[in-house]
Structure 1
Amino acid sequence: MAGSASQPYLEGFLELAREVPSPKRGGERRDHLLFFAVLLDDHSRAATLARYDWAKRIFRWRHTPRPPERFHVTLQVAFTSDEAIPERIIEAAREAASLVRFDPFPLAFDRIEVFLPSKALVLRGDGGHVALTALNRRLGHALRLRGLSPHGVSGTPHITLAYARPLTYPVEVQPMQMMVREFQLIDSLKGQGYTVLGRWKAQA
């Protein structure tokens, strides 16, 4: 009886797994990017932008920052597509997120540098790295349990500010601290912005 009851779930899991491609690792990104991230709150966005503006004045940068409402720390890329994200993929991602438990934790950022080869100008820091990595691993595991093929972001936590030519060395800035109290599921449509599809809060 237990085997027959689990059979429809297993068949659905395998069908979903066959449908899900791995996120692109290089080249031009697809139109839709479904990913989990920590969006910055109003205070953290203002603090981040202030540090960017300070460095821009000092070093006479000419590039324009990305819209502050898109400032975020990426966790997991769940799915990419040239078409609209299928609803069943979104639901699988939501189900995975609902399995993740975490306590609020702080992040701290204290330098600006450029990642190559993407030329992403980022605010970066080591504060909170262990807690963020733990959250990322739990989320990645939950996504795989739901038949998705996530691509986690490893390394030091960072916030992409703009895209620019490489810096010869990191620029130290006044530390910016923020609390991670929730994470979000986002559909990023190339050239049109973000749509938040779900939010999951830390345990009280």
Structure 2
Amino acid sequence: MSRAPLHVQLRDDLLAGRFPWGEPLVEGRLTELYGVSRTPIREALNRLEQEGLIVRSLRGYRIQSGTPEDVIDIYDVRIALEQAAAQAAAVRRTDLQLAELTQLQREARQEEDPAVARRLHARWHELLWAASENATLITMLQGLIVRLRIFDQDAFHRQDVHESMLEHDAVLEGIRNRDPVAAKEAIAAHLVRTKRERLDTFARRRIGTDAE
């Protein structure tokens, strides 16, 4: 089985929290960790810099940080794009794609571990994008989600699995019935709620900081 490209491995490790936020990403150290020469490490770092996940620093690179405003701006764009994806999926989806979405939704409902359920939910969104059959939309959404995960680590600690399940059901119903308006409205309702939860989280952080 072939290994993923180095920049994909490095990106996955960044998203998984393998590297502390304050720790610089230094070429020499990365060559030891991944067992490759400096050239592929440099190419991988350049690729991740282009994707907006890391920035140059005095000692190499550091993980990009985002403000609450950055997160909300990205989320607004995500909402618009994912509405378009849901509309397209309702029209273009195949029977196989519908079966995959339905099966993954069933697995998420049966999963008792909230962390695993959230990962299944994230995968469900990726299947939804794929059902749009729009490569440009898919690429743009993938890039936005990676940046959200870098900027917004709290997103994977919310306790909203039940709400997400019900909202996914509504989106799936629109896709099943080939109703693009229903699918668009349902995904918008889902993402607007999760955006509101992020705003609440940011507000709690700032109030807590101000109170100290």
Query: Which range, TM-score by smaller chain?
Result: under 0.3
Bigger relative CO (Cα 8 Å, ≥ 6 apart): 1
Structure whose residues are more often strand by fraction: 1
Structure whose residues are more often helix by fraction: 2
Normalised by the size of structure 1, how large is the TM-score?
Answer: 0.27
